[in-house]
Structure 1
Amino acid sequence: MIRTFRQLATTGLLAFVAATTAHAQNYPTQPVRIIVPFGAGGVTDITARVFAEGLSRELGQPFVVENRAGAAGGIAGALVSKAKPDGYTLLVITNGMFAVNPLIYPSLAYDPKKDFTYVAMLANTPTILAVNPSSPYASLPELVKAAAAEKDKLSFSTAGEGSDNYQVLQLLQQATGTQFLAVPYKSGTESLTAVINRTADATAISAVSAVSFVDSKQIRPFAVTSAKRLANFPDIPTVKEALGKSVEGGSLSGLAVPAGTPAEVVKRLNAAIAKVAGSQLVQERIYSKGSEAVDPTQIAFEKRVRDEQAKWATMLKAVPK
């Protein structure tokens, strides 16, 4: 009797493994949803749509982008955390969602450490620190000097707590020992408009979104928050070049799936993302526009998540309440 039970159990396990393997080998057999946590037109949305196009070609099924904005990514995070873990619902997750939001919001509808499997990074998009062209400050050192003279004297617009320019502001303040008056808006567009309208003294704008505003001289760029100058902005120095202090930040995006998604599905997705990342499509429409290429391996993404979580846990302890 015991032997028969064991045989049945073993047979059942083997059948389950075989079915799971077959599912992974055939994946995908239907359209795949990519949930974007922000509205259409932003850098995260643009990145998602370009990769969706590439993945559709690579894997032979439509990858359909759905924008689920709200709650600083909380609506999208909650939706995907509760989705069936079969590889047909993906989440574009950002460093703000997995490293910053858990520290600044009392409760989240998702747990970034338990609810997701991190598949691959897509791109890192630094920001450009900028002011209005009529600003009395002609350089980043002048702006920082003025901010250091009096706490909360100069205003810095952001897209709200946890956003990429909020993160850059924290990094800049820590590096320079200053404290700007942080002014939150509902979106990156509104925070940029505040500088254009001279409602705010300074901001940080995504390098991808900044192109037309720099070209039309609606903003005066001071420095880019990356390790090296960007190919499409060769005349804009890095913060380290401008100040002698390193400030590297912006929006890191990657793809995640619900925890429990079969490992073979994750592996297949990761391999496809790596191929798309190296394609001419992504090179021309993402990496040449101000975003930076990143290591597409799963182990690199998992390490980056842990590093970002540790960094911001230390960083935000010092943020004035």
Structure 2
Amino acid sequence: MTLADQYLSDGCAISFELFPPKTPEGIDSLCQNVERLMQFQPKYFTCTYGAGGSSQRTTLDVLERVKQITQLPVASHLTCVGSNTDQLCEYLQRATDLGVDYIVALRGDPPKGSTEFSVTEGGLRYANELVELIRERFSDLGIAVAGYPEVHQEAVDAKTDLENLKRKVDAGADIVITQLFYENADFYRFRDDCVRAGIHVPIIPGVLPVTNFKQAQRIAGMCKAAIPASLETEMTKDDSAEHQFRVGVEHARKQTIDLIENGVPGIHYYVLNKSEAAAELLDGLQLAGQA
């Protein structure tokens, strides 16, 4: 089954994103949360890695464990940062040897301390070049690329951002997974713009259940995702952990229900290696493959 085929069935297919823990205990905890998330019958799991590829080995270890536990396809993030094409191909070969099924192909953010992306000697400048490399040398791998409902922070405007996305899709991407957003209207506008631009692969919204307002502000600042005034008002009424968890999860649940009602083929959840928020917001919802 190809990556795009995951979204052909009726209902809403879901997937979860993880990140590599820093300790063996963290990996054990992550795996326990993965087992809890299996009750929602996800189609696959993805795993990021640290800035500049600092945790690539741990990412592959995590994906190997997750695949053993779940028997599901797994996807590794891969960026152009800090690697030449030979090093990118070495990583792709290791990933393939370990049974990784898909790649989330990204240009990558500038390394910590830098304000702009710089090309590694012998490396790649754009994500579409990474997609082309994968298609040419590792054609069996499925490829997801990133889309930005509120426009990438480095793009000069929405039109240019959309043109960049189309180049990635035309290079061979199977699906688009979006950056997180808090207003569904931003996603619907983006989806419509993609169709008008001739992008016809599945567009998968990315949702982060917010459980802490300070965390939400920090993440929103990093990825240019606006926090609705109504969500900010509700979360800041009470700074207790219980209140902020409840408000944030309820917001993500309403987002999810509205997205399903508006026909999205799937949703990708940024779960921050935890299962409580995702389990609460997904409880009782009609998802792909569930009775």
TM-score (norm 1): 0.29
By relative contact order (CA 8 Å, sep 6+), the higher-ranking structure is: 1
TM-score (norm 2): 0.31
